[in-house]
Amino acid sequence: MDEARLTKALSAVLGPALSAELTADFIKLRRDAATATLERASPGKFVETFVQCLQFVASGKFEAKPAVDEYLSKKVENEGSLPEGLRICAARLARTIYTLRNKRNIAHKNPIDPNTFDLALAHESAAWIMAELLRNATGVLMQEAGALIAQLQVPVGTLVEEIDGLRLVHADTSVRGEILILLHSHYPDRVAVADILKTMSARSSGSVKNRLGELRMEKLLHGDSKTGYRLTQVGHAGAVAEIANLMKAA
């Protein structure tokens, strides 16, 4: 996914600031879908920014903190200046994403296991919205718009899979990279060393323990062999960069 290219294309209809923010929100949601990482703010943030985009397209201005649900449920379909695809279809999809974010497991912990199907639906709906915005963008060559829409339609690869309570990392990466991706999927919770070793049983346990020590020394991890480890903010940024590079290469 070429973030800069997508931002440039959307700026024709949204302006540079909103196009950059919406693209960044979508990329975060795509990464969460790839790593099966739930309980994040990315679906809600994407919808909030999209509401600002609708307001901007309709009136040339937008609210800093829009009343998202009220706008999507009561106002947007009366915005006659919006193309129907955005006013009706995209707006209803956005409200679905927002509902999943608020009422299901995407944003909140509860006794039910997090539902990755909710996250997958949110991602696919967001991709459709992005494609519809591109379809309405002016000043973008049809060939370029078509190429970008094709990128959006490429299925997101699954980097993390959960089986019997164990999360497995499916990525051609180093031991260091695998640890970062694994702990990213649990962030901000700690993961016991025994669980890390079980997840990474195909690797040498000595190599895993050595990398854990190195990452802790570099302050990418916090914790110890008794309490387990979690990512620091710097470690989380490193994990995001690792995931981004893998997704670019996919």
Contacts of 35 (CB under 8 A, 6+ apart): 159, 160, 181, 184, 185, 243
Verdict on whether the full-model pTM lies above 0.75:
no
**Domains in the chain with CATH codes:** 3-153 (1.20.120), 161-249 (1.10.10.10)
| Spatial separation of the C-alpha atoms in residues 98 and 200, rounded to whole Å | 35
Q: Which amino acid is at 78?
A: N
Cα separation, 232 vs 250, whole angstroms:
27
Q: What is the mean pLDDT of the chain?
A: 83
Q: Which residue has the tokens 């590079």?
A: 245
Please say whether the dihedral angle defined by the alpha carbons of residues 98, 50, 247 and 204, taken in this order, is positive or negative: negative
pLDDT, position 242: 86
Helix or strand (DSSP H, E) at 195: helix 193-199
Pairing of strands 228-231, 221-224: antiparallel
93-131 per-position pLDDT tens digit: 999 988 877 766 554 444 444 467 788 888 889 988 988
Query: Region 167-185: what's the mean pLDDT?
Result: 87
- Give percent of the chain with pLDDT exceeding 90: 41
Distance of alpha carbon 173 from alpha carbon 206, whole angstroms? 17
What does each C-alpha distance from 194 to 3, 46, 111, 154, 165 come to in angstroms?
38, 36, 24, 36, 13
Residue 238 has pLDDT above 60, yes or no: yes
Instruction: Give the pLDDT confidence score for residue 5 in this predicted structure.
Output: 82
Q: Which residues contact 142 (CB under 8 A, 6 or more apart)?
A: none
What residues have CB less than 8 Å from 208, skipping those under 6 apart? 175, 179, 196, 197, 200
148-152, 212-216, 235-239: segment of lowest average pLDDT? 148-152
| Band of residue 13 on the pLDDT scale cut at 50, 70, 90 | confident
